[in-house]
Amino acid sequence: MKVLVAMSGGVDSSVAAAELKDAGHEVVGVTMRLWGGESDTGCCSVSDVDDARRVAQQLGIDHLVFNFSDDFNTHVVDPYVKAHVDGFTPNPCIECNRHLKFDRLSERARLLGFDAVATGHHARIEKDDEGTMRLARGADDAKDQSYVVHMLDQKELAFTMFPVGHLTKSQVRDRAVELGLRTATKPDSQDVCFISKTGGRETFLGNRIPFRPAQVVNEDGSAAGRVEALELVTIGQRKGLGLPGGGPKQYVVDVDTPNARITVGDESKLFCTSVVVNNIVWSDAADAQRLRVNTDVLVQSSAHGAAIPATVEVLSEAEVRLTWREPQRRIAPGQSVVLYEVTNSFVLAGGIACAN
């Protein structure tokens, strides 16, 4: 097969390319230029492109660079900013996977005649007993990335490869050392590429939107504090609310964006029994019918969070209601929520948490 491997300059994608070459595939590496602004973190620096290029040289494969910066701004950066204005807590890395790595890149790969795209994500693609393509958790539970690639449907699953999904992280690094790859000991990238460590989210957003001050009130409506930037506040936040010290811990339990008002309460007010999730993408469209009546699932709402038992009610093809077996801390609106089969590690669907 002719495979286009997305090489971020990290150890996982480096070993992914090596594994595919060893398996006899015709491999070409590609690095996507996404963020063109200031960056001192993430996976979009000049040094990352150079690392990917030099690993490709070590492996004896061609290396390409695709400039998708316009698409990145349109589908990742601009929605990230708008989400904060609208009172949501976005997940830009998931949107990057959705729109760039598994949409724009796959589109380009098909145009260039490739048979598949591959990435270094720690996830696996398998077939279930009925022959349906399924996204499964990676072999390394601590590094599993099925949550961040949950948006793959049958078409994309059939066109995608995860060559290191069957390996643990230590095995990946051992393989890189064995091959003498320059990325063997390179630390994992964990931050949002367009948010710098020096300026942070406040500086990034402050350069793009005017911040709105907001009143902080108790649940009875009495004044409790004040913030200068409503856009930086999220559900569950405890610090930076202008609250007097010495009292019981108070958390943000509601963000009223239209009225610029933030309500705080004790931690118990953060717990709920259900959440509605929209913008659902099904791994297999048939699951929307199969799960229509309250079905047990496991639900994950952060990249490395625990999978929590719940029942799912399919409200429409694009929306579900999840009901927890036991009350759970509320998921901030805008965060991704992923549903897994109870009996195995297969992803069923994923979407975006709505406001309660």
DSSP-assigned states of every residue in 129-154: TTS-EEEEE-S-GGG--GGGGTT--H
Given 43, 44, 93, 193, which residue is catalytic? Answer: 193
Active-site annotation holds for 93 = no
Where exactly does CATH 2.30.30.280 map onto the chain? Answer: 210-265
- pLDDT of 178 > 60? The answer is yes
Best CATH choice for the domain 270-353 from the list 3.40.50.150, 3.20.20.70, 2.60.40.10, 2.40.30.10: 2.40.30.10
pLDDT band at 189 (very low <50, low <70, confident <90, very high): confident
Share of the chain above pLDDT 90, in %: 82
Where exactly does CATH 2.40.30.10 map onto the chain? Answer: 270-353
- pLDDT of 252 > 90? The answer is yes
Average pLDDT, integer, range 333-341: 96
pLDDT band at 343 (very low <50, low <70, confident <90, very high): confident
What are the angstrom distances between the C-alpha of 46 and each of 9, 21, 171, 201? 10, 25, 27, 21
19, two tokens: 């594994």
- pLDDT of 308 > 70? The answer is yes
Do 280 and 320 contact (CB within 8 A), yes or no?
yes
Best CATH choice for the domain 210-265 from the list 1.10.3470.10, 2.30.30.280, 3.40.50.80, 3.40.50.300: 2.30.30.280
Do 24 and 47 contact (CB within 8 A), yes or no?
no
Given 43, 96, 272, 354, which residue is catalytic? Answer: 96
Burial degree of 350 (CB within 10 A; 0-12, 13-18, 19+): buried
Residue 161: the pLDDT is 98
More confident residue, 48 or 3: 3
Active-site annotation holds for 193 = yes
Highest-confidence segment of 21-30, 38-47, 238-247, 287-296: 21-30
Beta-bridge partners for 66? 32
CATH of domain 2-120+163-179: 3.40.50.620
Do 123 and 272 contact (CB within 8 A), yes or no?
no
Beta strand 336-340 with 319-329: parallel, antiparallel or unpaired?
A: unpaired
Nearest to 147 by CA among 307, 326, 308: 307
- pLDDT of 285 > 80? The answer is yes
**C-alpha to C-alpha distance for 121 and 188, rounded to whole angstroms:** 12
Where exactly does CATH 3.40.50.620 map onto the chain? Answer: 2-120+163-179
